[in-house]
Amino acid sequence: MNITSDDDVNVPYLAMNIRTMRNMHMEINAKRSPPENTPGPAQGINQYMYIETNSTGPMNATLRFYMNSTQLEMELGHDFNMSKMTWCYWNETDWEPVKSRLASDGFLEVNTTHFSVWTIIEQGPPEDTGSGEPQGEPQRVKTMNYTYTDMVPQGFTHQVERNQATMFQFQNTGLYMNCTNSLQLEVSAENQYTQKALRLEVDSGNALKLQIQLRESKPTEVAEPGKYMGFYCEIEPNATITQARLGMEVDPAQVQSMNMEMEQLTWAYWNGENWEQVDSTLTDDNVLEAETDHFSTWAIIPVEETTEPETTTSTGIPMPTAFIAIGIAAALLFNRKNHLGASL
């Protein structure tokens, strides 16, 4: 058996009882994040046990995890219902909960006949956990607030519960998130990035993983806009989204100092060749909002006036110029006729 863990993982007690008819080699790795491109479950403990074995023969095992409520609540930043905690594993499509029991000694136990990636979640009613379409109108709940004013996010991860409005306050910025499905969020920001709160409301038919990079420096693959609010938002999902709303709280004093006007601001995204403007709305509380059906690199720029290209004649002369020339020729011809008539 080989047991390893990431430096930032604190697993107090993990116990395992295995019954098998063959010798086996086992690898156990405790991590803070789920497998790559795999969204974390809603309301999880943010600890994942990667368990692999070289045996394909029949076996039965019992997994036991000591539920230190004080430590878990401190790490998660909120209270949870111990009676609803359950083991679950990744079945290559979704996190599948398995009937578990809380022993008198504080260990959460589960029996299994296979190994994969396991974690523990707080399992609520069907409309609150798991994946799939919610039943009926989602219940509106108050915003969950997390304060991290002592840190600039660098690879910060969090599992956002479906339809749970969540606000994160970091040292240099804020982030408001809400998603119609379970969301694994990963946020990074440059030290010099100092914008106000970014708002993201996402409609997704499946569990989603979202990587957000907030930066002041220009990404290498985009061109710098002529004028812009001095920041870029790189947003990368692991799946297609149905619809989303972006919002950014804009400081009028900052806009004025950059020789721009609040009413002329618009969201724009880099389409691979240029910045494409998106219809945007400024709310009464100075939040610039825009609807989109995809994510990429976004910025806020002044609205660029579009002008119609000049129409030319078959000779290549612009139409207004041609009309002027025809008018002058007609006038000269008319004057010439009048002169000849007077001579006769």
- The predicted pLDDT at position 163 comes to 84
Q: Between β-strands 26-31 and 2-5, what pairing exists: parallel, antiparallel or unpaired?
A: parallel
Residue 230 has pLDDT above 70, yes or no: yes
Residue 79 — very low, low, confident or very high, per pLDDT cuts 50/70/90?
low
- The predicted pLDDT at position 77 comes to 62
Average pLDDT, rounded, for the chain:
79
- The predicted pLDDT at position 344 comes to 45
> DSSP for 226-292?
SS--S-EEEEEESS--SEEEEEEE--HHHHHHTT--GGGEEEEEE-SSSEEEE-EEE-TTSEEEEEE
The whole-angstrom separation of Cα 157 and Cα 188 is 9
Would the pTM of this model clear 0.85, i.e. be above it? no
Q: Is residue 98 classed as helix, strand or coil in its secondary structure?
A: strand
- The predicted pLDDT at position 316 comes to 53
Q: Which one of 72-86, 94-108, 152-166, 250-264 scores highest in mean pLDDT?
A: 250-264
Intra-chain end-to-end CA distance of the chain, in Å: 120
Q: Give the least confident one: 123-127, 134-138, 290-294.
A: 134-138
Q: Give the least confident one: 37-41, 70-74, 116-120, 194-198.
A: 70-74
Mean pLDDT on 175-187: 90
Q: Between β-strands 208-215 and 183-189, what pairing exists: parallel, antiparallel or unpaired?
A: parallel
User: What pLDDT, in 10s, does the model give residues 17-74?
Assistant: 777 767 778 888 888 888 887 888 777 788 888 888 876 656 678 888 888 777 777 6
Q: Domain limits of the chain?
A: 2-122, 144-302
Single-letter residue type at 6: D
φ, ψ dihedrals at 33, nearest 5°: -125, 155
Residue 188 — very low, low, confident or very high, per pLDDT cuts 50/70/90?
very high
Residue 317 — very low, low, confident or very high, per pLDDT cuts 50/70/90?
low
Residue 135 — very low, low, confident or very high, per pLDDT cuts 50/70/90?
very low
Residues 114/127, Cβ–Cβ less than 8 Å: no
